[in-house]
A and B are shown apart, each in its own frame.
Chain A
Amino acid sequence: MISKRFVIKRLLLLVPVLFGVATFVFAILHLSPGDPARVIAGQRASEEFVRQIRTELGLNDPIWVQYGRFLFEAVQLDFGQSYQIQRGQPVTEVLRYKLPVTLEMAIYGQLFGILLGIPAGLLGAVKQDAVSDHVTRIGALTGISVPIYWSGPLVILLFAQVLGWFPASGRIASEFSIEPITGVITFDTLISGNFAAFQSAAMHLLLPSLVIGIYSMALISRMMRSSMLEVIRQDYMRTARAKGQGSKITVMKHGFQNALIPVVTVIGIQFGSLLGGAVLTETVFGIAGIGTLLVRAIQVGDYPIVQGTVLTFAFLFTMVNLLVDITYSYLDPRIEQ
């Protein structure tokens, strides 16, 4: 059982962290070079126009007034308006369309990682000879050593260029026009019954999620294997076997649930670095999610977008970690103390 006290304690711990995160994000705008008003105004604006904008944005107010205003607005999920990329549009509005794109890719990638990683790890644990040990180990280490921005292009080269099986970039072929419902394209196309569009979207998603998935798989399989071995070694398992409760397989079954605990942690932590990796994957595959949005926002100095994106990433990451902790405490109640 998850104790209420644990969850509440964990939530309370979040408060200072999120406060610190918000402060850092506020600092991004104010420590960055350049005048935000100039960014908004552009090359043709007169000094007077720039001054007007500065006043309108409250950039002349004392810093603590601006900080207070930022925090006050941030808790209401108001991050201001985009300076350049979607000039004049609220940041939340911009993120609303971009976030599902990234999440969709990340979730499919993670699914690949789990579905391939857990069986691979188990297999490695069952066959405990030196060969399988080396193979899983090298495989996993190679998986985390190959950067996404290299495996991505290689996969494009092979599957899109040479074999021509999958499209090299984008999310869906240009002949389809999808009225976004949730923004998750495989879901939207499916519930609107447009199967041709669904197929196109799925084909577009496969390569990027696979590339992300390989990275996850490496870590998950490794953790699965070592944690399974650890569990098997534990005393009660030995006892179980001593009592003659059947074959290795039975033992495995028994140990699996316990072995999953650290794997869940890895999956959670992994999801965070996966979000980071999304920036690279989106860049390689030309997908317009919040990763590419962030990169562009930094390039053009659209600070409200930078702030909104970074805050969103941090919030997601923190929430996933929270979920992991709670799941962990559910699987292993001893954690509470």
Chain B
Amino acid sequence: MAPDDSLKRRSFLKAAGGAAAAATLAGCTGDDTQESTDTTEESGGDDTTEEMGGEETTAEDDSESGGTTLTYARGSSSGSLDFQSTTSGEVAKVTNQIYNGLVQFDPGTTSIVSGLATEYNVDGSTITMTLREGVQFHNGEEFTADDYVATYERFTNPDHEYYPGDDYVSAYGSYSLGTIDSVEKTGDYGLEITLAKPYAPMIPNLAMFCSRVHSEAAIQEYGDTLNENAVGTGPFELDNWDQGNERIRLSANDDYWGEVPKVDEVVFTVVGKNNSRAQTLDSGGADIIDGLGAGSSQIVEESNNAELVSMPGINVGYMAFNMARFEPFRNKKVRQAVNYAINTKAIVDTIFQGIASEASQPIPESVMGYNDSLDPYPYDTEQAQSLLEEAGYGDGFEFELATFKNPRTYNPSPIQAAQTVKSNLNEVGITVNINQQPFDPFLEYTDTYKHDACFLGWMTDNADPDNFHYALLHPGVSTDAVPDGQDWIDPDNHDGINTLDAAAWANTEYMNLVEEAQTSYEESARAPKYEQAAEIFHEEVPWVAMNHAKALRGVGNHVEGFKIAPIAGPFLNVVSLNE
């Protein structure tokens, strides 16, 4: 970090801006079925390629050179090869290569394209699908509707013979597919999925990493050891998993139904330290790396052999006010005052060192329903002070800020950020006591609403606005359950409350909007509702929305066709290597 730092940061932001434009508001367009087999077809690739240095639009006709191995290095290993047994993004990076979903995300964007289903049709609470014929699993079995039914039952039905146990399957089964009432086959290549209610996020949920398709034969064969034996339909198949060296080797599936990989092999390796990983990229020991922080991205930027690629990530980091527990936070003016008093810009620029951007609302710009008329609260202690006085807290108050200790993508230095919040608020007479905990005890702490305020964050599952607005700010109870004239609920009085709503916020107007937005499949109908919801959020500020962290990758100069993806990546079948 030399003083010429600012210059770098500027070019960095420029690059990021370009990418942001690429990932436009590409939501899920209900019955508009896309049939292409070439998944790269209408991507936003042009924009992202800009920063990847001299790369032309498509990498389609690259010659296949013999014996090429693509090495993808990351910070920690996969603990499983089964997308149904994990909540880890590291696992998804590998399973995304091996498995396909019925529908999938278009590489580099958030729009949905066909996968193992060639067509889908949504009508109220019924989704009908036509499946792709002639697709083979890596074990030679042919893919049919039975495979999906088996996959679905294995994940969500504890009474089914395929169900591998509560401590095996991840919470994603009920979380993402919980709205499904039943999955029936209507023929070898037909499926009918019935939902409990019309539910717009269902299609993106079906494109998620956890909604991919197992082979029924493999389920029968491996049962709960499917996490070490992967059999999919994807562009790569499992070669071996060397656990001692944390190395997973995949080989190209030459019979792949989509775009056949241009490399022969992909190796996922682990280099624990960010800087070592960046160094490994520079010295040619890896072709693509992820998990970069401020220091390591600088190494990549300075390297002559590699390029730093970035794009705004679909995530959010925030500080939630617990209105159920801490009385002063029930006053809107107090919440606004805190928003004014915290210098989020300084946190993002100097503490997160520019690998994030300031947030004005729960969703980042690339997600449908982003309201671009909203700005982050400026740093204004005078305004904060006068709001506090209006609210009757001119002399300040004292509260506990709970935070996790270790860095997470959406909050790369939680402790230092908390210390900044503490000293910022001290200036307006508010005393902050920081309570730092490891992540899991911390989650339990916030789940049970023991915090006055807490840092939290969220990484998207499906790039849908519902996954932020509803998931994080809807209390999970009906509007009738919210007492009149009150915009929060007491978690002790309600069962089945959405504990991710760490603010215990229950603004009925907001709740109605995000509920309505779930029932309509048309983007044109949904987007305005989310824009309106964001406006309410911005006025009521149940959180201090802090930042959206960027997605950063280091890519070797000899790598062609790599597109950084905000979701469901990496897409390695479209990548080729130049010698």
A177: which of B164, B267, B438, B496 is its contact (CB, 8 Å)? B267
Give B245 Cβ to nearest chain A Cβ, in Å.
6
> B227–A87 contact, CB under 8 A?
yes
With A88-B85, A300-B440 already in contact, the answer to whether A52 and B244 are too (CB < 8 A) is no
> B441–A33 contact, CB under 8 A?
yes
B75-117 contact mask (Cβ, 8 Å, vs A): 1 or 0: 0110110100111100000000000000000000000000000
The complex places the Cα of A84 from the Cα of B85 at a distance, in Å, of 10
A46: which of B171, B245, B444 is its contact (CB, 8 Å)? B171
Instruction: Decide yes or no whether A49 CB sits under 8 A from chain B.
Output: yes
Q: Using Cβ atoms and an 8 Å threshold, which residues of chain A touch B85?
A: 87-88
With A89-B79, A168-B279 already in contact, the answer to whether A49 and B174 are too (CB < 8 A) is yes
Give B287 Cβ to nearest chain A Cβ, in Å.
10
Instruction: Decide yes or no whether A86 CB sits under 8 A from chain B.
Output: yes
A53: which of B167, B175, B443, B499 is its contact (CB, 8 Å)? B167
Q: Which residue of chain A has the shortest Cβ distance to B441 in the bound complex?
A: A34
Interface size on A, residues (CB 8 A): 54
Instruction: Decide yes or no whether A174 CB sits under 8 A from chain B.
Output: yes
> A87–B79 contact, CB under 8 A?
yes
Q: Which of B25-33, B121-129, B195-203, B269-277 contacts A (4 or more CB under 8 A)?
A: B269-277
With A34-B440, A174-B269, A286-B276 already in contact, the answer to whether A86 and B167 are too (CB < 8 A) is no
The complex places the Cα of A137 from the Cα of B321 at a distance, in Å, of 61
Instruction: Decide yes or no whether A47 CB sits under 8 A from chain B.
Output: yes
> B272–A43 contact, CB under 8 A?
no
Interface size on B, residues (CB 8 A): 58
B87: which of A42, A56, A82 is its contact (CB, 8 Å)? A42
Tell me which of A35, A44, A48, A172 has the highest count of chain B C-beta atoms within 10 A of its own C-beta.
Answer: A44
Q: Which residue of chain B has the shortest Cβ distance to A86 in the bound complex?
A: B79
Instruction: Decide yes or no whether A226 CB sits under 8 A from chain B.
Output: no
Q: Which residue of chain A has the shortest Cβ distance to B276 in the bound complex?
A: A169
> A88–B441 contact, CB under 8 A?
no
The complex places the Cα of A301 from the Cα of B437 at a distance, in Å, of 11
The complex places the Cα of A147 from the Cα of B392 at a distance, in Å, of 56
Give A88 Cβ to nearest chain B Cβ, in Å.
5
> B244–A169 contact, CB under 8 A?
no
The complex places the Cα of A316 from the Cα of B270 at a distance, in Å, of 27
Interface residues, chain B, with chain A CB atoms under 8 Å away: 69, 71, 73, 76-77, 79-80, 82, 85-88, 164-168, 170-172, 174-175, 224, 227-228, 239-240, 242-247, 249, 267, 269-273, 276, 279-280, 285-286, 406, 437-441, 443-444, 447, 461, 496, 499-500
29 A–B contacts, CB within 8 A, in A order: A33-B438, A34-B444, A38-B440, A45-B175, A46-B174, A47-B496, A48-B496, A52-B166, A85-B79, A86-B79, A86-B80, A88-B82, A88-B167, A88-B227, A94-B243, A97-B243, A98-B243, A169-B271, A169-B272, A171-B245, A172-B245, A174-B285, A174-B286, A177-B247, A286-B272, A286-B276, A288-B245, A299-B438, A300-B438
Known: A55-B166, A98-B244, A185-B245. 14 other contacts (CB 8 A): A33-B437, A43-B87, A49-B171, A82-B79, A84-B79, A87-B227, A88-B85, A168-B276, A168-B279, A169-B271, A169-B272, A177-B239, A292-B272, A296-B76
